């Protein structure tokens, strides 16, 4: 009920009226049954526009930090993320990654739609980056199709680091479902998982024509955070 109110009464009508989002390929989302929506990730607002533009509810796996804030702002953030169907997960790796996988499988086990960003984090520069194999494992274990989704101009509307969105028409392009049933029972084969993940990323690249770089987005972000060496050579190692 809360999701319905947020989508059709509170958030949805306001977003549609101000930003006039558009969608192509809505019929490619299965009318019933579980499926994974695999999307590129350009901006914070991706998780808002995609659910608004399709008829069925979508659950996203979101980092737990969004649900642990204090005060009025923390309460409002939790309310917003719960209202838009997002589920808190710990992304620190190890056992936390396994717990995230199990949470996603629970959503799919209910016959619902699960939204995943295969890149694992937002693109720092609008490029499409190497996918994480967790999506492939989920698809095989749950035996569900993967629907490629491309967000368009979400980063123009709200780039990383900004707090106030620009009035830009955000688009959603939905491709035909990908069937990986030929790999049934191979969810523990890391080569198969990588092959499936790469196929998903190729589908996203072709659908959105983004420039692709075969490296993890998190690696690029780490590089950007490193302080550059000063012009006089400080920071370099003496020979």
pLDDT of residue 231: 43
Q: Is the dihedral of CA 177, 181, 187, 193 positive or negative?
A: negative
**Of 67 and 16, which is predicted with more confidence?**
16
pLDDT of residue 179: 98
Q: Is the pLDDT of residue 230 over 50?
A: no
Give the position of tokens 């491709």: 175
State pLDDT tens for residues 20-38.
Answer: 999 999 999 999 999 999 9
* Secondary structure (3-state) at 91: coil
State pLDDT tens for residues 82-107.
Answer: 666 677 666 555 555 677 788 899 99
What would the two tokens of residue 158 be?
């709200």
Q: Is the pLDDT of residue 233 over 80?
A: no
State pLDDT tens for residues 201-220.
Answer: 999 999 999 999 999 999 99
pLDDT of residue 80: 65
Q: How far is CA 173 from the centre of its chain?
A: 14
CB 200 within 8 A of CB 118: yes
Q: Is the pLDDT of residue 239 over 50?
A: no
Q: What is the mean pLDDT of residues 41-70?
A: 82
**Average pLDDT value for the chain:** 85
**Of 61 and 88, which is predicted with more confidence?**
61
Burial environment of residue 36 by CB neighbours within 10 A (0 to 12, 13 to 18, 19 or more): buried
Tell me which residue of 190, 110, 175 sits closest to 144, measured CA to CA.
110
pTM of the predicted protein model: 0.85
Long-range pairs of 12-19 with CB within 8 A, sequence gap ≥ 24: 12/52, 15/48, 15/49, 15/52, 16/52, 18/167, 19/49, 19/157, 19/165, 19/167, 19/168, 19/169, 19/170
Q: What is the mean pLDDT of residues 49-76?
A: 76
Task: For residue 232, name the pLDDT band (cuts at 50, 70, 90).
Answer: very low
Q: What is the mean pLDDT of residues 52-75?
A: 75
Task: For residue 11, name the pLDDT band (cuts at 50, 70, 90).
Answer: confident
Ranking 22-26, 46-50, 172-176 by mean pLDDT, the lowest is: 46-50
**Of 237 and 208, which is predicted with more confidence?**
208
Tell me which residue of 118, 150, 147 sits closest to 131, measured CA to CA.
118
């Amino acid at each position: 009920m809360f999701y319905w109110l947020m989508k059709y009464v509170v958030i949805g009508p306001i977003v549609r009226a101000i930003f006039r989002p558009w969608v192509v390929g809505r019929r490619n989302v299965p009318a019933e049954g579980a499926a994974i929506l695999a999307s590129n990730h350009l901006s914070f607002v991706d998780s808002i526009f995609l659910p608004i533009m399709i008829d069925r509810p979508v659950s996203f796996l979101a980092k737990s930090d969004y649900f642990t804030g204090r005060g009025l702002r923390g309460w409002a953030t939790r309310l917003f993320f719960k209202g838009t169907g997002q589920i808190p997960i710990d992304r620190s790796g190890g056992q936390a990654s396994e717990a995230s996988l199990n949470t996603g499988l629970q959503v799919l086990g209910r016959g619902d739609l699960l939204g995943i960003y295969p890149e694992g984090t937002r693109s720092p520069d609008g490029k499409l980056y190497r996918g994480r194999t967790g999506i492939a494992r989920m698809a095989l274990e749950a035996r569900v199709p993967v629907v490629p989704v491309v967000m368009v101009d979400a980063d123009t509307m709200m780039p990383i680091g900004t707090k106030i969105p620009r009035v830009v028409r955000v688009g959603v392009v939905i491709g035909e479902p990908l069937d990986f049933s030929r790999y049934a029972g191979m969810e523990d084969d890391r080569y198969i998982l990588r092959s499936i993940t790469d196929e998903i990323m190729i589908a996203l690249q072709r659908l959105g024509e983004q420039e692709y770089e075969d490296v993890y987005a998190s690696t690029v972000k780490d590089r950007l955070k490193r302080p550059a060496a000063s012009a006089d050579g400080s920071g370099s190692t003496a020979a």
